[in-house]
Amino acid sequence: MNIWYLSAHDQPRGQSARTYDFARELIGRGHQVTMFANSYCHWTHADRLGPQEKWRFEEIDGIRVVWLRTIHYEGNGLMRGLNMLSNAWRSLQVSRILSDRPDVVIGPSVPLGTGWAASRIARTKKASFVFEVRDVWPIALVDDGSLSRYSPVYYAFRYIEKMLYRRAQRISATMPFVARHVFEGGGDPGKVVWIPNGVALERFAGFEGYSGGGKLPLVVMYVGGFGAAHDVITVVRAAAILQRKGNDKFRFVIVGNGVKRPECEREASLNKLINIEFRNPVPKADVPKIQREADIFVACVLNSAAYRFGLNLNKIFDYFASGRPVIFAGKTPNDPIAETGAGFSIPPEDPEAMVEALEKYLEMHPAERIAMGKRGRAWVERKFDMKNLGERMECLLLQAKNDNGLAREVDNGS
């Protein structure tokens, strides 16, 4: 198959790897993949293109990459909206100059404009369209307070979302409980296949040497975004509680960026915290190296209705692949930490509960922490290895291609 995979924010060897990892798996299975990506990275604020370049073609690891010049932005204001529109426009422009015809075009739900552009390209090229629901927009924006449900923007986004559910031959959902929402939006829930984020386990080779945190202080690490639905401030407040108690047996390392990072840094400064360190985000390929420093990982989300469709945090799979125990702070219909026994689950937005969980880890023998980490590692090896997920994605795309072919045969015969 010739597959065009549109993504606004994922970049090859960048901070987010889903599109890149699936592209590599599909190429390994004998398919051609073209990846459309913004040249501007909103995590690092760096742009790969020169001022006069509208786009650039490059081959990376067998993937034909189309770098798109889009409007730069920070935060969640007007400029982010213009960035979304410019990504859709550039994708359509480039699709007109490419001479080959795709069999399948994949487009995301975030941003919806890119998903719409993918559906438009698929129609023009007479290809199958697969809608990849990575977050349920626009309701997720309402849930995290970024958008009013009565805003014209909400109604416009909801109209596009429903249209994409109807147009798609298949729907790839990263969350396990999306089918009912698709049905309520006028789509066919039978099209929905759960294909979660996963782990390229080769990046985590040699992680068997974890000592279980044999020496103090224990390094507690958070790696990921500071987005609207994330709750990194709770980690900072837990560090403050421990410092006030005179407990110096933990050191916190927070790696990442996003709209809430300044708030977290201010909180740490106001409390004069000496037990916490903030680091800038790193490319996905460098995450395993950083995670080797950790003894305990933390994943934390707000107590938000946004997670009613299920939890699918990239960081949890990476944490498990590192073979370390995890604290998960959240309230979600699926809880990988509770399911695997790879750590402790605590209520969201509760720094006292996080401190209590950390103190439990401190009381444990290193061998117990090692055992927890091994349970998480075994779980991702069994269920979330990218090689297995790549096979599932290939099956979904073949089904979409066949569905489109059958629909065209019916149209031609009528």
pLDDT at 199: 93
Convert the pLDDT of each residue in 130-182 to its tens digit: 999 999 999 999 998 889 999 999 999 999 999 999 999 999 999 999 999 99
Q: What is the pLDDT of residues 230-239, one digit of tens each?
A: 999 999 999 9
pLDDT at position 227 is 86
pLDDT reported for residue 407: 58
Average pLDDT, the chain: 93
Say whether pLDDT at 292 is over 50.
yes
Q: Among the ranges 6-10, 187-191, 255-259, 400-404, which has the highest mean pLDDT value? A: 187-191
Same domain, 242 and 122: no
Closest CA relative to residue 293, chosen from 223, 377, 384, 354: 223
Q: Are residues 246 and 287 in the same domain?
A: yes
Quick: pLDDT tens for 11-58.
Answer: 998 878 899 999 999 999 999 999 999 999 877 888 999 989 999 999
- Answer whether 260's CB lies under 8 Å from 146's CB: no
> What pLDDT was estimated at residue 411?
54
Same domain, 211 and 249: yes
- Picking from 264, 203, 211, 205, the residue whose alpha carbon sits closest to that of residue 239 is 264
Q: 209 and 161 in one domain?
A: no
Share of the chain above pLDDT 70, in %: 98
Q: Do the Cβ atoms of 66 and 34 come closer than 8 Å? A: yes
The β-bridge relationship of strands 192-194 and 170-173 is parallel
Domain span including residue 352: 201-383
Q: What is the model's pLDDT at position 134? A: 94
Whether 262 and 182 map to the same domain: the answer is no
237 shares a domain with 326: yes
Say if residue 184 is in the same domain as residue 206: no
379 and 399 in a common domain: no
Same domain as 291, residue 328: yes
Residue 287: its H or E element? helix 287-291
Question: Quick one: pLDDT at residue 412?
Answer: 55
pLDDT at 413: 53
The pTM score is 0.91
Domain CATH code at residue 314: 3.40.50.2000
pLDDT of residue 414: 46
pLDDT confidence band for 388 (50 / 70 / 90): very high
Average pLDDT of 201-215? 84
If asked whether residues 52 and 36 sit together in one domain, one would say yes
Q: How confident is the model at residue 80 (pLDDT cuts 50, 70, 90)?
A: confident
Mean pLDDT calculated for residue range 95-103: 97
Query: Which of 361, 362, 364, 326 is CA-nearest to residue 345?
Result: 326
Banded pLDDT at 214 (limits 50, 70, 90): confident
Residues 240 and 278 grouped into a single domain: yes
Please name the residues in contact with 379: beta carbons below 8 A apart, sequence gap of 6 or more: 320, 336, 339, 340, 342
Cα gap 351→328, rounded to integer Å: 12
**Confidence band (pLDDT; 50, 70, 90) for 406?**
low
> Residue 74 has what pLDDT?
79
Contact 328, 346 (CB under 8 A): yes
Q: Are residues 209 and 355 in the same domain?
A: yes
**Domain total in the chain:** 2
